[in-house]
Structure 1
């Protein structure tokens, strides 16, 4: 979603692909100190869950300890800034909802890092659908009832999100525009915090990643109404898709990916891309991600860069049209 990666990042991504195809080159690139995976949200969200699934496997693959460090705040920008300013040696990774990375340039005029120059893609990780759910006190059991309730109570239904300008926030903005309804948008420091707020009744509804939200639906702590994506989620087959429920935004969801500081050697990016790709394609990890409604989407750094460029343009138009400003 980035308008354009800087020259260094683009060259690193292209070189990583070439190097990854040369026998012995990738595996010759060793790590000489521990690796940190920075998650720019509070524990318990989709990014955090993925980081803790990947970290022990990556540790075994590279022969170094891999620790997960949560650094929430500023809609994910505190964690992104930490990685952007880290030593560019591949030992500090950013695992995040890359939708937030892509929307940041359109939301914040005072970013403390430059996305075009300071971050380089390693690999996409997964796509996870969003779940639309409500607290049990909200008198709705279907999408049609939710729409009717929102129309009868304009601006009163508090819809939690993982931060202003996040993809789930924008999905709710698109929904209210297309359906002619009005929500009260309430930002939290990550999807896990937003989910807990709705479970506690602090907010009334949310649109959030399936990995962090479905457990509360299946445990009857939240009332699930629908899921984004092309298919119903196996662990909650009764929930219709947004398309089936005639809701806009059905292609939205949480796209998770990994980035490093720009200037990281191409061989290091290639090694990380290869090892993480193997981890994601392992039957164990694929099954765990599928259980939570997600789909593995590992790929090349170049493919991720293209996705970021396209998404930045698309979501930026929505943000500007809606007049959304970051906080």
Structure 2
């Protein structure tokens, strides 16, 4: 005899109460089962903020990823360029957005790692107010010059810089940006002096060297190689372990800083439900593995670097400590 039949025979009222309890328990189980799914649903358009001007590496990636992410989550993904303060203006907007996963940040995360050491009045904490979602790619830096600079190789550039202290202007993405720190570190190790000139993002910095306003650039391959290919800039060397577009590596060219480059990642507001971050991480990971996205990133010398939020968080904390030491030693201050 089943338990339910035993209860019914002994007392119909007791059976009714038990049945009601079982029904409520079942409803509760269903509700609990639905909660995780609901927590990762997108209820309105998503803002994907790029804290630099259009045309740079972060902007190019956002416009590659945005449409595919929109299709995956069933909501429009709006790309919003919010340049200023070496990326901090856009990062701050995401840090202060509702913690629901509907506001994302895509940028060179090296800038996030340097910000705490550069700006005493920083209005957010990259390691506390932003939640890593997924790393996106690693892109080597390209060292390039305006055609008027009398250097066709890296060694010729070094010789010219030593013979002409502070004559060369090196464009960067903003004070404290990773390519700025790379230029400072290179100058120290090579024993040269050049002027570091900040712009509002890598695209603006590249255009400044194309126009001859500045003479040298160390910038992400995605944003810089097209200018080299079009003969608007003279490429001298590339970071990383492999040649890109026929350019020698920094190691081959006798330059320090061969492990430098642009690390692009996507973050959201701290406090966003873990289920939402997990969903975003999974969808972005799938997008980055699609053949067309991988091919387009590879065309620009980049390499897909997806991964878990935990791995991204560990990278950011380590970079913050490591690059912070370089900034303090060089006495660099944000403005």
Give the TM-score, by structure 1 length. 0.91
| Residue-by-residue CA offset, 1:24-50 (whole Å, 9 max, x unaligned) | 956972101000100000000000000
Shift of 1:112: 1.1
Q: How far off its partner does 1:232 sit? A: 0.9
Measured in 2, the distance between the counterparts of 1:207 and 1:58 equals 30
Higher relative contact order (CA 8 A, sep 6+): 1
| Cα RMSD after superposing both structures | 1.3
Cα distance in 1 for residues equivalent to 2:172 and 2:64 = 24
Distance 1:175 1:31 in 2: 45
The 1:300/1:27 distance shift into structure 2, 3 A limit, reads farther
Unaligned runs of 5+ in 1: 1-21
Equivalent residues in 2 for 1:120-199, closer than 5 Å: 120-199=131-210
Q: Any runs of at least 4 consecutive aligned residues in structure 1 with deviations exceeding 4 A, and if so which?
A: 24-28
**2:127/2:316 contact within 8 Å kept:** no
Q: Output the CA distance in 2 between the equivalents of 1:144 and 1:85.
A: 46
Residues 237-294 of structure 1: CA deviation (Å, up to 9, x unaligned) = 2x10001111010000000001111010001000000000000011110000000110
Conserved? CA contact 2:143–2:235, under 8 Å: yes
2:47–2:77 contact (8 Å) kept in structure 1: yes
- Do the aligned partners of 1:38 and 1:69 also contact (CA within 8 Å) in 2? yes
Match of 1:11 in 2: none
Separation in 2, partners of 1:72, 1:118:
19
Aligned to 2:303: 295
- CA 1:138/1:268 → structure 2, altered by over 3 Å: closer, same or farther? same
Asked which structure has the greater CA Rg, the reply is: 2
Measure the CA separation in 1 of the matches of 2:291 and 2:215: 37
The runs of 5 or more residues in structure 2 that have no matched partner are 1-32
> Is residue 80 from structure 1 mapped to residue 91 from structure 2 by the alignment?
yes
Task: Tell me which residue corresponds to 1:265.
Answer: 273
Aligned to 2:240: 229
